[in-house]
Amino acid sequence: MARVAASISCTADERKELERLSKSRTDETRMVERAKVILGCLAGLRNDEVAAELGLQAATVGLWRRRFVSEGLAGLRDRARPGKPPIYPARELRQRILKQLEAPPPAGWASWDGGTLAQALGVSDDAVWRVLRKEGVQLRRHRSWCVSTDPEFAAKAADVIGLYLNPPHNALVLSVDEKPSIQALERKTGYVCTSSGKIVRGLKSTYKRHGTINLFAALNVATGAIHSKTTITKKRPDFQAFMDEVIADIPAHQPVHVILDNYSTHKRNHDWLALHPNVCFHFTPTSASWLNQVEIWFGIFSRKTLSGASFASTDQLVQAIKDFIASYNQSAAPFVWRKREVKGSQLRNTIVNLRN
């Protein structure tokens, strides 16, 4: 006597999900196929008819029909399989790897990598990398920062950040610094096709030097606009001449707050400040020039104007700087202050402490 297939039905939500799965190009192929099986069964087709239509065995169609009847959509997913017993106990291997990372690397090595860890522990590379990926440990990715030891760090940082977040009424806040010794390098550039067929930017390894220039920049914290000046030297008179240009159009009664780092050129400008009583200098803590917002702009400038560029002379370099700043100022916007807190104690934390 022929076997009777299990009676099958579904809710409206289940049918909607089955139809979505059957047309999906991003879900697993097996799930798409199983959704088509169930839709065929719901259409009243026999198991052998669905199998013939999808190129499957009737027994396979019967399996997924029964699983759907008893478990719904969840029954279409693969069940957990025992798999091969692990060679290395997971918890024990994790602790061994994290502990080994605290030990000095092999002689002549700057740091551990997956291969040296596996060799030191007598396990496979794959086992080591599975643990590292699960724990989020990136052995080749680095982050660096400078931790200030200024005893007045809190007060100085609060003064600078206060100017960003809550500037005095009717005052102009400027973030000022210089980018010294920008080289005018000339080299061939273009596009090349690699062996993989990818098109990449090509730079010739050899280049000609055509001298250097210095760039002074003042960022208007409220608008994001840049005022700049290029010079051959970066001495105190150059800095003062730049500041004269910056405040030339500012009314003498308007307060101007200038944020600077502790470079020697920025210090001992008492005579200049005496001539401009509306100007007040605010210095970032030592080893904390990252508090100066114009450093963010210098990063943008370096990536967009200097990286991979070629200049046949310093005049050409100066013109490129002027062109970029003119273009930048057309759509300039203030930076949103959101620096993360960095504690010096992070450098003393161990891998084990971070992962437990």
Predicted confidence band of residue 1 (pLDDT cuts 50, 70, 90) = very low
pLDDT average, residue stretch 273-295: 92
Residue 83: pLDDT over 80? no
Query: For the chain, what percent of residues have pLDDT higher than 70?
Result: 94
Is there a contact between 182 and 210 (Cβ–Cβ < 8 Å)? no
Q: Considering the entire predicted model, what is its pTM?
A: 0.64
> Tokens 């930048």 belong to which residue?
328
Q: Taking residues 40-58, what's their average pLDDT?
A: 93
Compute the distance between CA of residue 153 and CA of residue 168 in angstroms, rounded to an integer: 21
The predicted pLDDT at position 144 comes to 74
The answer regarding whether domain 153-330 maps to CATH 3.30.420.10 reads yes
* Average of per-residue pLDDT across 251-272: 92
pLDDT, position 229: 94
Can you tell me the mean pLDDT for 325-343? Answer: 81
Has residue 326 got a pLDDT over 90?
yes
CA atoms within 13 A on the CB side of 192: 9
Number of alpha carbons in the 13 Å side-chain half-sphere of residue 111: 7
Does residue 71 surpass a pLDDT of 60?
yes
Q: Domain map of the chain by residue range?
A: 12-76, 90-135, 153-330
Q: Which of 225, 223, 215, 221 is nearest to 177 (CA)?
A: 215
12-76 in CATH: which number? 1.10.10
Find, among 181, 180, 163, the residue nearest to 172 by Cα. Answer: 163
Cα–Cα dist 77/198, whole Å: 38
pLDDT tier for residue 146 given thresholds of 50, 70 and 90: confident
How remote is the C-alpha of 57 from its chain's centroid?
50
